[in-house]
Structure 1
Amino acid sequence: MDTMCVDATTIRSATPVADARETARIFLEGLWQPAVDSEVADTVVLVVSELVTNALRHGGGTYLLRLTANPDLIEVAVGDPCSQAPRMRAPDLNGGTGGFGWPMVNRLAHSTKVTHRPSGGKTVSALLAR
């Protein structure tokens, strides 16, 4: 099993979502057997982008990204300090306030879950077929 963790509080970048996507690409390129094809890699990067965006927008402005791979699955897990779970809502087609990310993650992932931490906050995880 391969694992990589990135704590956004140590990055301090003006482009944290882009940094998270790049981290995911580097992680996926480092996996040897079985190799990840480009369609799976694009899906993982998209899920990372959506979960990190949600953590920054709705979860308190910081995140912890953990990527884990085993022979069958890749797990994208994003923690943030807010205890409120993501929710399905009607996408805002006119005002630009979102509503597309969480439904998309749920469609792309094999499964999703929200784990509330006893110390506060949550981790949102998505399992993707490798």
Structure 2
Amino acid sequence: MDTMSVTVVPVRSATFIAGARQSARAFLAGLTAPVATENADAVVLVVSELVTNALRHGGGTCVLELTAHPDSIEVAVRDPSPRAPRMRIPDLNGGTGGFGWPMVNRLARAISLSPTASGGKTVSALLPRAAR
């Protein structure tokens, strides 16, 4: 099983979110059993959303871990905040978001939320490897 961890430093910057996306692409490209292109795009999108949310709402730091399972890819993001992500009405006018978490829920086969020993949380999303 292929695994990789990437630590995103405590800076709120698109550069670090872009780095998480690049790390996800590199991880997927390095797998011996390829991931369908559409599914790889979904993994990168979920990485981007979860890392963005962790940096924005989770205290400014996070750890990204990607794990390849035989039929799925797991995206796990750990941050220091105990607050769970929540659904909200998307803001169509003010630009405050509300689109990412529903999208993650739609793309993922399963989502879990686990508390960490340090008082934070890990949000995990399981996405399929093969085309549906």
Deviation at 1:9, TM superposition (A): 2.4
Number of residue pairs aligned between Structure 1 and Structure 2: 129
**How far apart, CA to CA, are the structure 2 residues paired with 1:87 and 1:40?**
24
Structure 2 residue matching 1:103: 3-state secondary structure: helix
Q: Please report the TM-score for the alignment, with normalisation by the length of structure 2.
A: 0.93
* Contact residue 51 and residue 62 of structure 2 kept, 8 A: yes
Counting aligned pairs with the same residue, the percent is 69
* Contact residue 12 and residue 60 of structure 2 kept, 8 A: no
C-alpha change, 1:11 and 1:26, in structure 2 (3 Å) is: farther
Quick one: which amino acid aligns to residue 7 of structure 1? T
Structure 2 residue matching 1:27: 3-state secondary structure: helix
Q: What does residue 25 of structure 1 align with?
A: 25
Deviation at 1:118, TM superposition (A): 2.5
Q: Give the gaps of 5 or more residues in structure 2.
A: none
**Are 1:88 and 2:111 matched, yes or no?**
no
Q: What does residue 16 of structure 1 align with?
A: 16
Q: Give the gaps of 5 or more residues in structure 1.
A: none
**How far apart, CA to CA, are the structure 2 residues paired with 1:5 and 1:13?**
19
Structure 2 residue matching 1:88: 3-state secondary structure: coil
Deviation at 1:117, TM superposition (A): 1.1
C-alpha change, 1:11 and 1:25, in structure 2 (3 Å) is: farther
Structure 1 stretches of 4+ moved >2 Å: 9-14
C-alpha change, 1:10 and 1:70, in structure 2 (3 Å) is: same
**Are 1:5 and 2:2 matched, yes or no?**
no
Quick one: which amino acid aligns to residue 21 of structure 2? R
**How far apart, CA to CA, are the structure 1 residues paired with 2:60 and 2:90?**
22
Structure 2 residue matching 1:15: 3-state secondary structure: helix
Deviation at 1:70, TM superposition (A): 1.4
Quick one: which amino acid aligns to residue 79 of structure 2? D
Q: Please report the TM-score for the alignment, with normalisation by the length of structure 1.
A: 0.94
**How far apart, CA to CA, are the structure 2 residues paired with 1:129 and 1:14?**
27
